[in-house]
C-alpha cells in the first residue's frame, strides 16, 4: 500500500524551472512538493548555463534569492563577436539600457535549494519511477518510490519541470503533441578550468575551423567551448589539444591572453532545437527543457525556463487567489510565444557563427556577409542586443 500525501502543486524536477516555480508559489501561499530523481549533491554540481538575462535576474530578485547573485555575479554591459581573428564589441547596455549577468546555473540552483530547505517545503531527492496519473481529470496523482517505499501524491496540478528526458512529456500520447525540431551536424566541446578569463566580456568567434566561445564563471574560473563534430569522443580531446584549438580559433589577438590549466569538467553536447506544443494538457503544465530545447549559442535555455515559470506561477496564483483560471488557459500560448522568439534567435545565431558551409561556397560567402553587416550596422547590432539581453516577459 503506497504512503498517501496531498499538496496543491506536484512539481517534477529540481532544476531551475521546478525550484523557481516552487519558490514563487510559496511566496504566494501555495504549497508544493518537488520530486527529483537525482541526489542533492548531483543537482548542485551539474555544470550548465552561465548567462542570466536582465528579466531572469529581476525574477530571481522577486523570488528573494538574488542576494549572492548580486554579490558574486558579474554584470556585463557588452559582448564581443569575432571574425577572422578581429573582434567587435556590441554595446548591450548602450543599445538596450539592459545588461546580462554571468552567474553559474549551479549557483542559481544552490541558492534556490537553500531557500526551499529553509522552510518553503519538501524536496524528495532520489525519487524513482515517478509516474503521472489522471491529469486530464480533476484529481491528478503522482506515484513514486523513495527510501524503498511507494508513495502517492494527490495534487490539484502537476508541473512537469523534469527537463528534456523527463517523465512528464513522455507520459503524453504522441498523437496529442505537435513536435517541431531541428538537429545540427555539430556539437560543443566545453571545458571549465580554474584560470582567469582571457577577456572581461564573452567572445563569440567565427573561424574557418569552427566556432569558439570564451566565457567565464568568475574572475578566476573560465568556461570555453569549441564547435566539434557531434559524434566526437572526449578521449580524442586531451586538454592540450583542446587549448591549442581554442587559441587558434580565438585568433592571434586573444590567444596570448588565454591561460591554460587542468580541466575541472569537460563535456560534449549535441546542438538541438525542439519545441513541443501544447505546453498544457488538462492539469499538467510543461515548463523549461521539458517543453523546449535551444542550441546554447544564444544562452537562452535557463532563461526560457525562468520565463515559463513566470507565466505559470502568475496563472496558478490567479487561480488560487481569485478563482480565475483565464491565465491557466492562456499559459501555453503566452509562454510559447516567447519561446519561439528565443528559438529563432538561437537558431539564427547558431547558423551565423558556426562552420556550416563548405569552404569557398556561395553559402559561406553569404554567412560572412551577414556577420560583416552585423558588425557594421547599428540597426543589426540593436536587433542582436535586444534579443541577447532577453525580450520582455
Ligand atoms: P533541467 O535543468 O534539466 O532540470 C530538470 C530536473 O528534472 C530532473 N528529472 C527528474 N526528476 C524526477 N523524475 C524524473 N523522471 C526526472 N527526469 C529528470 C533532473 O534530474 C533535473 O534535476 O531543466 P530546467 O529546470 O527546465 O532548466 C533548463 C536548463 O537547465 C537548460 O535550459 C540550460 O542549462 C541550457 N543551457 C544554457 N541556458 C542558458 O540560459 N544560458 C546558457 O549559457 C546555457 N548554456 C546550457 C548551456 C545547457 C548546456 N548543456 C549541458 C545542455 C550550456 C550547456 C553545455
Ligand atoms: C556558458 O558560460 O556556459 C555559456 C555562455 C554563453 C553561451 C552558452 C554558454 O551562449
**Span 173-214, pLDDT tens digits:** 999 999 999 999 999 999 999 999 999 999 999 999 999 999
According to the model, what pLDDT value does residue 65 have? 98
For the CA of 308, the closest atom of ligand 1 is 26
* 204 is an active site residue: yes
| Residues whose CB is less than 8 angstroms from the CB of residue 350 and which lie 6 or more positions away in sequence, other chains included | 184, 271, 295, 297, 298
Question: Hey, what domains does the chain have and what are their CATH numbers?
Answer: 3-76+102-180+272-349 (3.50.50.60), 184-271+355-389 (3.30.9.10)
Q: What percent of the chain clears pLDDT 70, i.e. is strictly above it?
A: 100
Backbone angles phi, psi at 385, to 5 degrees: -60, -45
Mutate to test the pocket of ligand 1, among 163, 184, 186, 284 (most ligand atoms within 8 A of CB): 163
Mutate to test the pocket of ligand 1, among 100, 101, 105, 167 (most ligand atoms within 8 A of CB): 105
Average pLDDT over residues 305-311: 98
Compute the radius of gyration of the chain from its Cα atoms. 21
Average pLDDT over residues 74-85: 92
Q: What is the reported pTM?
A: 0.97
Is the pLDDT assigned to residue 363 strictly greater than 90?
Answer: yes
**Do 108 and 63 touch, CB atoms closer than 8 A?**
no
Tell how far the Cα of 378 is from the centroid of ligand 1, in angstroms.
34
According to the model, what pLDDT value does residue 86 have? 79
According to the model, what pLDDT value does residue 85 have? 72
Give the dihedral sign, CA 164/165/168/173.
Answer: positive
For the CA of 167, the closest atom of ligand 1 is 15
Going by alpha carbons, the residue nearest to atom 2 of ligand 2 is 50
For the CA of 301, the closest atom of ligand 1 is 32
Q: What percent of the chain clears pLDDT 90, i.e. is strictly above it?
A: 96
Please tell me if the CB atom of residue 197 comes closer than 6 angstroms to any atom of ligand 2. no
According to the model, what pLDDT value does residue 218 have? 95
According to the model, what pLDDT value does residue 234 have? 96
**Do 333 and 312 touch, CB atoms closer than 8 A?**
no
| Residues whose CB is less than 8 angstroms from the CB of residue 159 and which lie 6 or more positions away in sequence, other chains included | 9, 10, 11, 12, 17, 18, 21, 32, 285, 287, 312
Tell how far the Cα of 301 is from the centroid of ligand 1, in angstroms.
8
Average pLDDT over residues 374-387: 95
Within 6 Å (CB) of ligand 1, which residues are found? 12-18, 35-38, 43, 48-51, 105, 127, 130, 161-163, 166-167, 190, 269, 288-289, 296, 299-303, 305
Residue 150 pLDDT grade (very low, low, confident, very high; cuts 50, 70, 90)? very high
According to the model, what pLDDT value does residue 317 have? 98
Is the pLDDT assigned to residue 84 strictly greater than 80?
Answer: no
* 296 is an active site residue: yes
Average pLDDT over residues 49-64: 96
Q: Is 139 helix (H, G, I), strand (E, B) or coil?
A: coil
* 76 is an active site residue: yes
Amino acid at each position: 500500500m503506497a504512503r498517501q500525501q496531498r499538496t496543491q502543486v506536484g512539481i517534477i524536477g529540481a532544476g531551475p524551472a521546478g525550484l523557481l516555480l516552487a519558490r514563487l508559489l510559496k511566496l504566494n501561499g501555495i504549497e508544493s512538493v518537488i520530486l527529483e530523481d537525482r541526489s542533492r549533491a548531483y543537482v548542485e554540481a551539474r555544470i550548465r548555463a552561465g548567462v542570466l538575462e536582465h528579466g531572469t535576474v529581476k525574477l530571481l530578485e522577486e523570488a528573494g534569492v538574488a542576494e549572492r547573485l548580486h554579490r558574486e555575479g558579474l554584470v556585463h554591459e557588452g559582448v564581443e563577436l569575432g571574425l577572422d581573428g578581429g573582434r567587435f564589441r556590441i554595446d548591450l547596455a548602450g543599445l538596450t539600457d539592459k545588461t546580462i549577468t554571468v552567474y553559474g546555473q549551479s549557483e542559481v540552483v544552490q541558492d534556490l535549494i537553500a531557500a526551499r530547505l529553509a522552510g518553503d517545503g519538501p524536496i524528495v531527492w532520489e525519487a524513482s519511477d515517478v509516474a503521472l496519473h489522471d491529469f486530464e481529470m480533476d484529481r491528478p496523482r503522482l506515484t513514486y518510490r523513495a527510501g524503498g517505499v511507494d508513495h502517492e501524491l494527490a495534487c490539484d496540478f502537476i508541473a512537469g519541470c523534469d527537463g528534456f528526458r523527463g517523465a512528464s512529456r513522455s507520459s503524453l500520447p504522441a498523437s496529442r503533441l505537435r513536435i517541431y525540431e531541428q538537429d545540427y551536424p555539430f556539437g560543443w566541446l566545453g571545458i571549465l578550468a580554474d584560470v582567469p578569463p582571457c577577456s572581461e566580456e564573452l567572445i563569440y568567434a567565427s573561424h574557418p575551423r569552427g566556432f569558439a566561445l570564451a566565457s567565464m564563471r568568475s574572475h578566476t574560473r573560465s568556461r570555453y567551448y569549441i564547435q566539434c563534430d557531434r559524434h566526437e569522443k572526449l578521449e580524442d580531446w586531451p586538454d592540450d589539444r583542446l587549448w591549442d584549438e581554442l587559441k587558434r580559433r580565438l585568433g592571434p589577438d586573444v590567444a596570448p591572453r588565454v591561460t591554460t590549466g587542468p580541466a575541472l569538467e569537460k563535456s560534449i553536447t549535441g546542438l538541438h532545437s525542439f519545441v513541443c506544443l501544447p505546453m498544457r494538457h488538462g492539469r499538467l503544465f510543461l515548463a523549461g527543457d521539458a517543453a523546449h530545447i535551444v542550441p546554447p549559442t544564444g544562452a537562452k535555455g535557463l532563461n526560457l525556463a525562468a520565463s515559463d515559470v513566470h507565466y505559470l506561477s502568475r496563472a496558478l496564483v490567479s487561480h488560487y487567489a481569485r478563482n480565475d483560471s483565464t491565465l491557466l488557459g492562456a499559459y501555453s500560448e503566452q509562454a510559447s510565444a516567447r519561446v519561439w522568439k528565443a528559438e529563432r534567435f538561437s537558431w539564427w545565431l547558431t547558423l551565423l557563427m558556426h562552420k556550416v558551409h563548405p569552404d569557398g561556397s556561395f553559402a559561406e560567402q553569404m554567412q560572412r556577409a551577414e556577420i560583416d553587416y552585423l558588425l557594421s550596422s547599428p540597426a543589426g547590432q540593436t536587433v542582436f542586443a535586444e534579443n541577447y539581453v532577453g525580450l520582455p516577459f
